[in-house]
Chains A and B, each alone.
Chain A
Amino acid sequence: MAMIEFKNVSKWYGSFQVLKDCTTKVEKGEVIVVCGPSGSGKSTLIKCVNGLEPFQQGELIVNGQSVGAKTTNLPQLRAKIGMVFQNFELFPHMSVTANLNLAQVKVLGRSPEESTEKSRALLQRVGLIDHARKFPGQLSGGQQQRVAIARALAMDPIAMLFDEPTSALDPEMINEVLDVMVELAQEGMTMMCVTHEMGFARKVAHRVIFMDQGEIVEDATKTDFFGTPRSERAQQFLSKILHH
């Protein structure tokens, strides 16, 4: 059984169709890169996975549960799926450690001590243990994004979603974040990453999905995608982002 399975998912904003009949799946342990021009529906697609965006048609099964079903306990499902955002979205009024502890305590019911222990281990892992007491506003973008990844990992997720995790970063900070993501991928984490970092895709992705105007235009293995993308739109897109 696939970890994430989209079956003909469609979504509208009023009369504007933002997702058109999207069908794809992510197996356990797979790393999928989603790319495509701005406005093509990548963020919307990935936010459907944990129910942050509702959809009107089709079915979406995550870890055996139907996301759109009324009976699904969304908070419970979300707690198992980590998500990392373009703008980090750390809680500004909480220290780094408090950011990592919050959901562990409030959602998983861990004790504060146990949570802090877990948080410190993760901060160590992303290289930020010295910043545990700082506030998000006192960190660089790259550091904030690594904290955000640690915050997601603190919940022991079964899959991770990334929505352009490096596009708000200054170039010199992109690699520190990608390194953490590569490591995660190599450990076998199930990942769905919206990103234009084709180096990352080449290195760890199993499949690449190309979206345009709400459609999944291409859903290919990495080798096929970088070898001979079948669609003209994907070829054009690739040549654009690879040439700068």
Chain B
Amino acid sequence: MDFGFLSQPAFSGGGTYFDWVLSGIKWTMLVSICAWVIAFTLGSVLGVLRTTKLWWLKGPATAYVELFRNVPLLVQMFIWYFVVPEIVPKTLGMWLKQGMPMPEFWSAVFALGFYTASRVAEQVRSGIQSIPVGQTHAALATGLTMPQVYRHLLLPMGYRIVIPPLTSEFLTIFKNSSVALTIGVLELTAQARTISEYTFRTFEIFTLATVVYVLITMAVTVLMQLVERRLRVPGFIGTGK
């Protein structure tokens, strides 16, 4: 393997191929992190709504989860990029197509964020539902209202319980961000493909991309372990009796 080509001037843009790799990493990170913000926020809200007893909150949340979880991500990406600008009111559609900066980027962020939200929602819901009902009874019995019970008991405990599966969703979002190349986001995988087309160093460049994905995965895992350690409850082993 010879990685010398990385320092060669790139076909266009004035930098080296290594600059293309860095730019790919930057877009991979940006798409993933922005999408995660949406996924975590919206997913938490949906997950909480699914645990309430009010059908008019629970119903729409359940419908959302079933819809977004079951349509392939690639299809959702195309819908956000190609279909949404056509079906929204005309002026908004025009703006989406011509006025809005970086339409591919935002389409990718929304597609990935709204899709992953459905998966986060399921984790948050299962975390909350794994807390024994006696805990809620005890909290209510002290006079707390149901929103306060969520705020002070169900959410803090629920999130702790699902840190491992949430970590896995967070990792998946980095891997899934590569789907954004199909609508033209020049993230890491897209850059690797372009570089291989110009330099024929296919083996080297995809090895490099693989290493970068593995490093990102390791960094996220370490970060989440720190979070988990910080939130660990002394003496708490599980929700079982």
Tell me whether B54 is interfacial, beta carbon within 8 Å: no
From B135, B138, B141, B156, name the one whose CB has the most chain A CB atoms within 10 angstroms: B141
Q: Which residues of A contact B145 (CB under 8 A)?
A: 75
Q: Select B236's contact among A85, A92, A108, beta carbons within 8 Å.
A: A92
Known: A87-B241, A93-B160, A137-B235. A75 touches B144 (CB 8 A): yes
Nearest residue, chain B, Cβ from A151: B142
Q: Which of B114-169 contact A (CB under 8 A)?
A: 132, 134-135, 137-145, 148, 152-153, 156-157, 160
Q: Select B138's contact among A76, A85, A106, A168, beta carbons within 8 Å.
A: A85
Interface residues on B, range: 20 to 34
How far apart sit A78 and B143, CA to CA, in the bound complex (Å)? 5
Say yes or no: A91 contacts B139, CB within 8 Å.
yes
Q: Which of A144-166 contact B (CB under 8 A)?
A: 148, 151-152, 155
Residues 73-103 of chain A, each 1 if its beta carbon lies under 8 Å from chain B, else 0: 0011011111101110111110000000011
Q: Select A102's contact among B140, B144, B157, B234, beta carbons within 8 Å.
A: B144
Nearest residue, chain B, Cβ from A53: B137
Tell me whether A10 is interfacial, beta carbon within 8 Å: no
Say yes or no: A52 contacts B156, CB within 8 Å.
no
Nearest residue, chain B, Cβ from A93: B233
Q: Which of B202-241 contact A (CB under 8 A)?
A: 233-237, 241
Q: Select B134's contact among A76, A87, A137, beta carbons within 8 Å.
A: A87
Say yes or no: A52 contacts B142, CB within 8 Å.
no
Q: Select A83's contact among B138, B144, B234, B235, beta carbons within 8 Å.
A: B138
Say yes or no: A78 contacts B142, CB within 8 Å.
yes
Tell me whether A47 is interfacial, beta carbon within 8 Å: yes
Say yes or no: A134 contacts B134, CB within 8 Å.
no
Known: A134-B234, A137-B237. A89 touches B143 (CB 8 A): no
How far apart sit A50 and B143, CA to CA, in the bound complex (Å)? 10
Distance in Å from the Cβ of B69 to the closest Cβ of chain A?
Answer: 29
Residues 115-158 of chain A, each 1 if its beta carbon lies under 8 Å from chain B, else 0: 00000000000000000001111110000000010011001000
Nearest residue, chain B, Cβ from A88: B138
Q: Provide a sorted-by-A list of 6 A–B residue pairs whose CB atoms are within 8 angstroms.
A: A52-B140, A75-B144, A79-B142, A92-B233, A136-B235, A148-B138
14 new A-B pairs (CB below 8 Å) besides A102-B142, A137-B236? Answer: A78-B141, A79-B143, A81-B141, A85-B134, A93-B160, A107-B142, A107-B143, A135-B233, A135-B234, A135-B236, A137-B234, A139-B235, A152-B142, A155-B143
Tell me the A residues contacting B by CB distance below 8 Å. 47, 50, 52, 75-76, 78-83, 85-87, 89-93, 102-103, 106-108, 134-139, 148, 151-152, 155, 168
Q: What are the 5 closest A-B residue pairs judged by CB atoms, nearest first?
A: A137-B235, A79-B143, A89-B138, A103-B142, A138-B235
